[in-house]
Amino acid sequence: MASRAKIEISRVSKVFDGSPRNRTAVFNDISLTIDEGEFVSLVGPSGCGKSTLLLCVAGLESRTSGEIRLEGKLITKPGPELAIVFQEYALFPWRSVIRNVEYGLEAVGVPARQRRERGRAALNLVGLGAFAEYWPHELSGGMRQRVAIARALVIEPKVLLLDEPFGALDALTRSLLQKELSRICQATGKTVLFVTHSISEAIYLSDRIVLLSKRPASIRLEVRTALPRPRDPYDPEFVALTERLERVLLEEVPEQAETMVAA
């Protein structure tokens, strides 16, 4: 039987080498397999290397040791098979919404008519079809992030990488975009690796949650989330899982935990 593995992270470590006194081990000997169509979230204390690991998967950051493979092929550089969405929208202010979405297609030489058709389809998917000719400054923060997601999806990547894409948004907009992202991923069957500080967000979106330890990080815990979709954050099972993972996370940041208890 053929393997369903989309991404294979094998014994990957990362050390930032400055001066001898500034040598920083970020994460150590991490192994993780992400299956085709699976939504996996990375959660952990601040500074544990979640975003750095994501950048290594994207081919944007080097590894000190270990291997990362996409469908069995070693990842050595960025490519269209892997699309990444950051917390900052990074839209070009001098290009309309549709032309922002088309940018990746334009860069690889897709003909104009085909670019426009695929760009409009991607905007429709994220609910922004009516805003194709708007400019980024005319959109809200949540709408701009949806444009960024459309721009990532339009190149039809094999894996979608998201680095705290909703971290800068207000609570209501964040909640709405979580629902949108869940809908889009269910509709497209896209393989997703997602970085977040929010345990409840990870539970809402994920098939599996990987909790990293403090630096140098290793995998502390993996949890499969079998809750039915759409998920209700007020459901007792959802609340119980949130509490369980928060307790584990607090064990990785004892100083913060003591401060919270004292308060």
- Cα 30 to Cα 56: distance, rounded to the nearest angstrom: 12
Q: Which domains does the chain have, with CATH numbers?
A: 5-81+157-262 (3.40.50.300)
59-84 pLDDT, tens per residue? 999 999 999 999 999 999 999 999 99
87-121 pLDDT, tens per residue? 887 899 999 999 999 999 998 899 999 999 999 99
pLDDT at site 168: 81
Alpha helices in the chain (DSSP H): 50-58, 97-107, 112-125, 141-153, 171-188, 199-205, 236-251, 254-262
- 1 pLDDT above the threshold of 50: no
Neighbours of 26 (CB within 10 A): 22
pLDDT at site 87: 85
176-230 pLDDT, tens per residue? 999 999 999 999 999 999 999 999 999 999 999 999 999 889 999 999 998 999 8
**Confidence at 260, pLDDT banded by 50, 70, 90:** very low
Output the pTM of the full model: 0.91
- Cα 200 to Cα 179: distance, rounded to the nearest angstrom: 13
pLDDT at site 68: 97
User: What average pLDDT does the structure give for the chain?
Assistant: 90
Name residue, tokens 């917390």: 87
